[in-house]
């Protein structure tokens, strides 16, 4: 497959870059996520998440009620059914754990996203490309007989032509000018199945 690159000012990551995201959940990720989860207990940080903010308010109210219940006498003083003191504390602790675990899950997801973005940035700078020297679109559109030079993907300029063979990483954004291939775009789109890209197709970039 022959690709003519059209990089922008900040070149995107290779479409076929293999990423190695962290494991789904581990103790190391949990420890790293705990400080961020505790910071998210601030109600001002929960404003953008109304559901968790409502649970936070319920947890705070239940905690105040559990503290004040021994002094107020509880429902039994007004003829109601007696409520054991541990029950109110149990509800309060359960609500706080719900908020905390939700924050931990969010922090873990943010950490995984940052790790994957860092991996993509590293791949972009370390990927090598076979740039065609003296490309002739009329006589040799597929650049089968043209000379090539190994360069870093960060050195590619607009309108450079590169050759990508089976198993190689696509070094940057561009349009396919010759050939056809199945491309793994999971690092960019999340689609697990490879997609077909060819010159002249509706999706050749």
Q: What is the pLDDT of residues 153-186, one digit of tens each?
A: 778 888 888 888 887 878 877 888 888 888 887 7
Same domain membership, residue 117 and residue 49: yes
**Quick one: pLDDT at residue 1?**
56
What is the mean pLDDT of the segment spanning 116-144? 76
Same domain membership, residue 136 and residue 119: no
Average pLDDT, the chain: 74
More confident call, 94 vs 164: 94
Structural domain ending residue among the three candidates 124, 152, 182:
124
**Quick one: pLDDT at residue 155?**
80
Residue 20 in this model has a pLDDT that exceeds 60: no
Count of structural domains within the chain: 2
Q: What is the pLDDT of residues 44-62, one digit of tens each?
A: 877 788 888 898 899 899 9
Handedness of CA 36, 37, 39, 44 (dihedral sign): positive
Q: Which domain holds residue 155?
A: 2-17+128-198
Question: Could you write out the DSSP letters of every residue in 66-122?
Answer: HHHHHHH--GGGGTS----HHHHHHHHHHHHHHHHHHHHHHHHHHHHHHHHHHHHHH
Percent of the chain having pLDDT more than 70? 75
What is the mean pLDDT of the segment spanning 63-79? 72
Same domain membership, residue 142 and residue 108: no
Residue 12 in this model has a pLDDT that exceeds 50: no
Is residue 145 domain-resident?
yes
Nearest to 51 by CA among 103, 90, 112, 107: 103
Structural domain ending residue among the three candidates 102, 124, 146:
124
Predicted TM-score (pTM) of this structure: 0.45
Determine the Cα–Cα distance for residues 28 and 37; give it in Å rounded to an integer.
Answer: 14
13 SS3 class: coil
More confident call, 192 vs 78: 192
Structural domain ending residue among the three candidates 124, 158, 176:
124
What's 149's DSSP letter? Answer: E
């Amino acid at each position: 497959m022959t690709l003519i690159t059209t990089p922008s000012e900040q070149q995107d990551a290779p479409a076929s870059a293999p990423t190695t995201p962290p494991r789904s959940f581990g103790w190391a990720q949990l420890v790293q996520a705990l400080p961020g989860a505790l910071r998210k207990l601030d109600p001002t940080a929960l404003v953008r998440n109304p559901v968790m903010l409502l649970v936070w308010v319920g947890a705070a109210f239940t905690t105040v009620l559990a503290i004040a219940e021994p002094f107020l006498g509880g429902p039994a003083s007004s003829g109601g059914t007696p409520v054991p003191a541990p029950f109110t504390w149990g509800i309060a602790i359960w609500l706080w754990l719900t908020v905390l675990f939700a924050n931990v899950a969010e922090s873990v997801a943010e950490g995984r996203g940052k790790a994957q973005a860092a991996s993509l940035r590293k791949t972009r700078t370390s990927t090598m490309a076979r740039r065609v020297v003296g490309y002739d679109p009329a006589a040799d559109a597929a650049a089968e007989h043209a000379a090539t030079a190994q360069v870093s993907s960060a050195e590619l300029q607009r309108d450079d032509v590169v050759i990508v063979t089976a198993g190689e990483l696509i070094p940057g954004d561009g349009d396919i000018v010759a050939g056809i291939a199945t491309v793994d775009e999971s690092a960019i789109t999340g689609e697990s199945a490879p997609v077909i890209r060819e010159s002249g197709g509706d999706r050749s970039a």
